[in-house]
Amino acid sequence: VQIEEIGYNFINEQGKLLWDKDIWFDYVDDFNEGFAEVYKEDKGYNIINTQGELVWDKEEWFDGIGYFTEGFASIYKKGKGYNFINEQGELLWKGDKWFDDVRRFRNGFARVYIKGKGWNFIDPNGILLWKEDKWFYESWDFKIDCVYDIITICAQVRIEHTIQYLSTNGEIMKDDVLMNDDVLW
């Protein structure tokens, strides 16, 4: 709902204001997976849940925020970079250096990028999937695919000039190796 010169809010199914604080938001987005993006000009972006609580309860809000997918939303902070926040308001990546770009979670992993290194994947525990020093020049989301006549969940990655297939255990798939953990029968 919007009241001119006051701002935006939400009304729940009982007709009660969801955000019952005195100051309304300057912008709100639709709910997606039980969460909505909210914005206040003097604070930045945050996320509200269906109980009217801010997911990020810290004083300093974000400069940008994405939708929740698979339990995580991407967040952006000027001068810091990109990270993810979970539904409990905790940061996923604990490293000092945040990422220069991220993509949303799909099939259990999100793509992350650091300038000068390349692309990698992060799992829901905040662990990077690819352990090598040299990251991927290019990568695509994990999906169900057919590789070497095996139906599997994998991601295409470009290492130098060659397209390879990365398994969910962080290894490059070879045509003579059957990865039992990845096979879907």
For 158-178, the pLDDT digits (tens) are: 887 888 888 888 888 875 443
Structure confidence at residue 132 (pLDDT): 87
Kindly state the percentage of the chain with pLDDT values over 90. Answer: 64
Top pLDDT among 133 and 27 is at 27
Structure confidence at residue 34 (pLDDT): 93
> Average of pLDDT values for 35-59?
95
Whole-model pTM: value is 0.82
Give the least confident one: 60-69, 90-99, 120-129, 145-154: 145-154
**83-135: per-residue pLDDT in tens?**
999 999 999 999 889 999 999 999 999 999 999 999 999 999 999 999 888 88
Structure confidence at residue 184 (pLDDT): 37
Structure confidence at residue 175 (pLDDT): 55
Kindly state the percentage of the chain with pLDDT values over 70. Answer: 91
> In this structure, which long-range contacts are made by residues 53-59, counting pairs with CB atoms below 8 Å and at least 24 apart in sequence?
54/89, 55/85, 55/87, 55/88, 55/89, 56/85, 56/89, 57/89
Cβ contact 73:110 at 8 Å: no
